[in-house]
Amino acid sequence: MKQNSPKIDKIQFSRHNPLISTIKKRVLLNKEGSSKNVFHIELDLSQIPLQYNTGDCVAILPQNPTKDIELILSFFEIKEDIKLIKSLIHDCNIVKATKKLLQLTYDHSQDPFLKKVLTTYTPKERKSFLESIDVPTLLETYKPINMKPSEFLATLQPMLPKFYSIASSYLADQQSISLMISTFVYSIGEKTKEGLCSSFLCNHASIGETNISFYLQPNPHFSLPKSTSTPIIMVGPGTGFAPFRGFIQERVHNSDHSVNWLFTGDRHSAFDFYYEDELRTYESNNNLNLVTAFSRDQEEKCYVHHKMQEHSKKLWSLIHQEGAHIYICGDAKHMAKDVTNTLYEIAQNHGNLSHEEALNYYKKLRSEARFVLDVY
């Protein structure tokens, strides 16, 4: 009889000792006509007996773009320095230029503008300049000569991981880890740049070939209630939906009678309804109460907190009478604040609480781990 491989201890892996996998599957979730690019990505676990908890995160260590590496290497006499190449691909942050690199570039270029930045700019002005330029652009613009690889590498910050919520349940699929990733672009001077990790995973890594370095980041506070009979209210528009896909998968796996409310959406229902067929199936099987808010489908923008207001009486009953757990995931700056304020209003309107009493009510729920946020 074939014995199962022992489970890997996820704690032993880190940025300095990552696991290695490849991309098993990559699917663009948006339909043609969308203004966004959000991908479903699966990391292959078939050769890695790794168990994770629903709500955990994956820390991805990306690789720097080939074209940027080639540009940087052009400033060194030794083009085949294996240590330099490996460090530039895997270990170094070339998105953020440092003051040390600024000084080194000036030392090897004697550019008068860089001297001005170093000697006459205020710390705030210098910081602003460094934020406006990445390492390849700095070198290309000011053309240092005779730099040594060792002194150059010493000026760079380390490559840091990018954290993504896991969009699957281990109980539902032990062969892969699903992620939900949105790509983006930004400007460095006159250049348009892609988000490093999202572009690496969604555009550049070859399926089944490119090594993906990663490790698990446990997220124990963002977990399902122990009892499957406890109702849950999930609020996650856009990629904030990611952990809730795992929540729903696990709840369906464990119980056919759990009460699961999901508030999600994005810009246009025709183009940006992520996992629509999957969610509709859960809905038709009475596994999910699905409420969507697509902000651009009507003249006046509609967001998840507006939809929560429409269901405020039921939500208050779930929270106050039935002991529901509330989860919010996604944008911290606007969405999470709007949703939290809506919850305060619901408590005031249906629980006859004052504003201060509503604040204390949800403060108590937080202390009981019944109201949790994973926002960024």
Size (the chain), residues: 376
In this prediction the pTM is 0.93
Angle formed by the axes of helices 123-131 and 112-119, nearest 10°: 130
What is the model's pLDDT at position 2? Answer: 39
- Reduce the DSSP state of residue 25 to 3 states and report it: strand
Q: Where in the chain is the domain with CATH 1.20.990.10?
A: 66-158
- Show the 3-state SS of 97-147: CCHHHHHHHHHCCCCHHHHHHHHCCCHHHHHHHHHCCCHHHHHHHHCCCCC
Select from 188, 150, 174, 233 the least CA-distant residue to 45.
174
Q: Where in the chain is the domain with CATH 2.40.30.10?
A: 10-62+160-217
What is the model's pLDDT at position 12? Answer: 81
Query: Concatenated DSSP letters for 240-289?
Result: GGHHHHHHHHHHHHH-SS--EEEEE--S-TTT--TTHHHHHHHHHTTS-E
What is the model's pLDDT at position 188? Answer: 82
Q: For domain 10-62+160-217, which CATH number applies: 3.40.50.300, 3.40.50.460, 3.40.1190.20, 2.40.30.10?
A: 2.40.30.10
pLDDT, tens digit (0-9, with 9 covering 90-100), for 37-52: 999 999 999 999 899 9
Query: Concatenated DSSP letters for 291-344?
Result: EE--TTSSSS---HHHHHHHTHHHHHIIIIIS--EEEEEE-TTTHHHHHHHHHH
What is the model's pLDDT at position 259? Answer: 95
State the residue for tokens 């781990």.
369
pLDDT, tens digit (0-9, with 9 covering 90-100), for 106-131: 999 999 999 999 999 999 999 999 99
* Amino acid code (one letter) for 222: F
Q: Which CATH architecture has domain 66-158?
A: Up-down Bundle (1.20)
Q: Where in the chain is the domain with CATH 3.40.50.80?
A: 232-375
Select from 129, 123, 134 the least CA-distant residue to 96.
134
Task: Report DSSP state, residue 209.
Answer: T
Encoded tokens for 9: 């201890």
Instruction: Report the 10 Å Cβ neighbour count for 80.
Output: 8
Q: Across the chain, how many H-helices and E-strands are there? A: 14, 16
Identify the segments of the chain with pLDDT beneath 70.
Answer: 1-6, 8-11, 79
* Amino acid code (one letter) for 336: A
**CATH top-level class for 232-375?**
alpha beta
Residues 317 and 314: their CA atoms lie apart, in Å, by 5
pLDDT, tens digit (0-9, with 9 covering 90-100), for 215-225: 999 999 999 99
- Reduce the DSSP state of residue 352 to 3 states and report it: coil
- Reduce the DSSP state of residue 222 to 3 states and report it: coil
